[in-house]
Amino acid sequence: MAVHRQPGTVLTDHVFSVPLDHSDPGGERIEVYAREVVAAGREKDSLPWLLFLQGGPGGSSPRPLGKDGWLVRALDDYRVLLLDQRGTGRSTPVNRQTLPRRGDAAAQADHLSHFRADSIVADCELIRRQLLGEDAKWSLLGQSFGGFCTLTYLSFAPEGLREAFVTGGLAGLGVSARDVYRSAYPRVERKNDGHYRRYPEDVEAVRKITRHLAEREVRLPDGGLLTVPAFQSLGMMLGSSTGSHTLHYLLEDAFLPGPGDAALSDSFLHQAQQHLSFAQRPLYAVLHEAIYGQRSVSRAATGWAAQSVRDEFPRFDADRALSAGEPVLFTGEMIYPWMFETDPALVPLRGVAEELAARGDWPDLYDADRLARNEVPVAAAVYHDDMYVDTADSLATARAVNSLRTWVTDEYEHDGLRASGGRVLDRLIRMVRGEV
């Protein structure tokens, strides 16, 4: 195990061998990586463990730079384990380079069926027993999709948890993928409207860029296509604390200055690529709708849910907006089939993405009866009008889970855990302890 020191912290690497399919423990195995973080000088202390599950799907754990962010608060009380969920980060990778080795699209889809929340929780339980012992419990912090995984943990292995904290991640227990996106588009509309009120000059800037892209082929530095829909998908950032401002700064330098035909600047194209490429998190795109599949909700395939309901929201039609003289709206946390044609990191995964979109009868991820009897103390931050997770769904879930308290706030956006510098986590810890 490698051990490193950073300002205020000591980091220890852990690698665990886990079954690819936990129902077949004697079959193929993969590696899952985790980084232990403890405050400097407390390496030998008997501290409770706090497992962190990152958002996603397909997001690797944070790479700390000393005692920073929410770790400032966590390390006061805990020894933290930052898990690279299976397929991400330093765990056995799943991407355009490795998946084709599995065979055809159907074989690749079979492989990816083991990368949802149920398998992640099974990994966590195996790791808990190895690190802490069979009967010891740990605390759990789930951000966004990590909160979805927390609900799965509470459904199937609550005996491993002493307490749980959820930030922006109370999933709807009985909603389909189409339900998710029908409620998401109006929230994204509101975020667009808020952005254009904040930066009214961006209305014409976005219309100008949209017209430019509609009239010619534009390539990003990695060879990917910057189409009108791809440009609209930059709205993904509108749900974060600084996303609207970041988007504005990106737009204001889009075109090269001076006479002659308008041309998008290399700086704009480079920055746009950084936001649009899925090279660092391909599982986010491939599995994004599959994480909502549950046979008790619907045995039907997810079927490109975001695309299938988009026409119900005509304000996102860029051609219509241009012809009507209206603002062109950005989209949000939606994955579309065309992304597997324009992003070089996703092009080789088009077949498996189609296969997953056509697959139905997914196993359930939540046990409503067990959640109703839950005895693990849970505190959850629910962000008012969260762009990524529907607030109404979150509150309905909160009512359905015993021993769960919510803190509903409009002080932070979806990334409040990171942006608050430990204040959100501190509030949840005090809620579980009965101090607030």
Q: Catalytic residue numbers?
A: 144, 361, 414
Rg (CA), the chain: 22
d(CA 326, CA 399): 40
Residue 115 identity: F
d(CA 402, CA 348): 44
Q: Are strands 138-143 and 404-409 parallel, antiparallel or unpaired?
A: unpaired
Quick one: 364 exposed, middle or buried, by C-beta within 10 A (0-12, 13-18, 19+)?
middle
Greatest alpha-carbon span in the chain: 72
Indicate the helix (H) or strand (E) that contains 90. none
Indicate the helix (H) or strand (E) that contains 32. strand 29-39
Which is nearest to 351 in space by CA: 102, 93, 106? 106
d(CA 255, CA 253): 6
- DSSP bridge pairs for 11: 4, 37
Contact 231, 245 (CB under 8 A): no
Contact 286, 352 (CB under 8 A): yes
284 — phi, psi (to 5°)? -60, -45
Per-residue tokens: 140: 């759990």
Residue 141 identity: L
d(CA 93, CA 97): 9
Q: Are strands 138-143 and 161-167 parallel, antiparallel or unpaired?
A: parallel
d(CA 114, CA 204): 46
Indicate the helix (H) or strand (E) that contains 210. helix 202-215
Q: Is 346 helix (H, G, I), strand (E, B) or coil?
A: coil
26 — phi, psi (to 5°)? -90, 0
The backbone region for 434, taken as left when phi is positive above 0, alpha when psi lies in -120 to 50, beta otherwise, is left
Residue 194 identity: G
d(CA 66, CA 343): 34
